[in-house]
Structure 1
Amino acid sequence: MAVHHDYPGLTVEILVDGKPLEEYKNTDEEEKPNTITRYVECRSGAEFAITTKFRAPFTPMDALLRACLDEMKVNGKFVKKHGMLEGTHCQSKITWREGGSWLASNFVFSDLSIDIEVEDNSSEASEENLETLSSVGTITLVLTQVLSYRTISKPRGKKVTLREVGRVSEESVKGDVRSHTIRLTPNTIIEARKGTRSKLAAEPFVTFQFKYHSNTALKSLDIVPRSPSPSPTPQSELVKKEDTTEPIPEIHPNGVSLAAAPRPKTTGVTPAPPQPKSVSPTFDEHNGLIDEEIIDLIKHYRGHDNGLAGHSRKRLLVLLKHYENKDTERVPIKQEPAPSETGVRIKREPNDGGIVLEKGKKRKTEIIALDE
């Protein structure tokens, strides 16, 4: 379970089939203040839930738990001060109103659509899919204190749309460890919901991030120990035989048997040298760079740095190596144009999710959370 040393008694977990996923910490990744980052192993087709518990000695308060899937706000759960230390607060679906009915869809892990038959840079749509891909792979829960609130009997309940990653070529994602995304299950009809309009503190008091990957990807990142290589079959020790001679009879023309010449000494077969072991690629040429300089180099190839913030140094180096290799294969080198304010290929609109609505110009401090 993910915990923060400043808030003992507060725990957050990702549950699949009612059991918490095992969490891993990347020791090479520096955590941000008031942020806890853990890695979890995901399985395609598995529905999951984000669970939060408050126990003593945590100091009770009115709080809002805002969930984000792949950088998209999808759910807001209001927890009252009275009763905070009891029970488990679960977020496993989005809810919205459509016509006169309320509907819900659960969170589920899903495979990315990676196709060896899709040619790299075959279309603009493929490039847009790569842009969207840079934002997937993270489940975030932001906890913020609620300063005041009031109940709403008939909230609007707008439907949330998650990021959709289309088909991408195998060549274009080479060096990228992301293998899964998050989608929603088919709709089900639920009972009507009420909402709470809350005024929030200026900043959240703690944030939990869960980066989900396949087992293979976690091993490639050295988050999960790799399977040990099988031990080579021990070669039998060569036994050095004593030099012995064996008489070989030979009849001389005069009828006298000559002493046999000694047979040559038998020598052992020299064992074949062991095969060299494969070695993971190194990035010695980039050891002197700081993370910001690596991001600048990636930005040079991509034309922008969207989705790069928060990645570990190892992942940034893998991504930089991918673009360097890709760049050397192109003749002549084609520089990707930087996106302008009027020429962005992906339209990213603010999404209140129907569950979280915010008001204000600079600081959005008032939101609506639906009861789950």
Structure 2
Amino acid sequence: MSNTYVCVHVLQDVPPANLNRDDNGTPKQAVYGGVDRLRVSSQAWKRATRMHFRERMDRDAQGIRTRRLHGILTKALEDRGKDHEAAKALAKESLGTLKITPDRNNEAQSSYLLFAGRRQLEELADALAADGADAKSVDAAEILGSTHPLDVALFGRMVADMTQLNVDAAAQVAHAISTHAAPTQFDYFTAVDDQQEKDEAGAGMIGTVEFNSGTLYRYAVVGVEQLVENMGDREEAIAGIGQFIESFVQSMPTGKQNTFAAHTRPALVLVEVRDDQPVSLVSAFESPVRPRFEDGHSTGYMGASLERLARHHRSEAERWGDEPRLLVASYAASGNGDSALTEAFGESTSLPDLVTRVTESVSAGGRDG
């Protein structure tokens, strides 16, 4: 059986911001093409995508990543009629079969984080609360090990002590990097004390905040067959691909947003449905983009990046002689470079139409295959 991949490419400008910082408060960076680039980690954007799911999906259809499994399962058993001590003991014994033990300092917390479906936890509580049931008669690993919610199915789960609970991620998300050199900058700020006396000089507080700005290339890929296997339902998986595209494209990490309010939308969303292999287009930017000037006007980094991506995509398709099953894009008009975008990606469409065309293509491919 052939594998199908949904590749999502995004170009998005970010004004002064610090969306994802390291332990020193510095915006994360990477050296690529011999220059320092702005970087936003895959973990940051995967969490932002999951938070976007919360606003768009039923709570019961989502997963939860938490150390509070013992407390959650205890409360669920109490809701089903168990007294507190019996519920706590049953939760501890059941999770113990999965080698998930309570934290030494807080019995309501578990020894490590586990990513599980809310519906799976409710099913486990139902099974444990049934007449005559106990932790030994209920297969907790089976309940937590199949028919995963979208976020668990996409991003996977690794449990070192019990590999039966591992879930191979159906999605891979690249670290977003700027298409150009992007050195870190510093904002010197002062804060005035509102109760300061008239004859007092100086500020109540001074300091610096590091920030960066740039045009980012973002990339993610979903393996359709792996997602179907993880979720156990093809129709739900295909609908989940549409939700992933919407949430990945529209989400934004929350780092320092109260300081910078860097709420932007992508200038380009390009999606390919491929039957051969996942392909990132990041190599278009290995040579750092520089704005081009025509008639006294600059393309800016975004305009130059759009043109660069279009040329790279077209040349790579010719060089390798392959063609995706579907190529669909939504992009903003950029002026002089629009003809290159249309030639490479076709006419721009709305994001809802893009999602519909992708899910229809994936669905039709599954029936034909």
Q: What TM-score bracket applies, with the shorter chain setting the length?
A: under 0.3
Larger helix percent: 2
Larger strand percent: 1
- Normalising by structure 2, report the TM-score: 0.24
- Normalising by structure 1, report the TM-score: 0.23
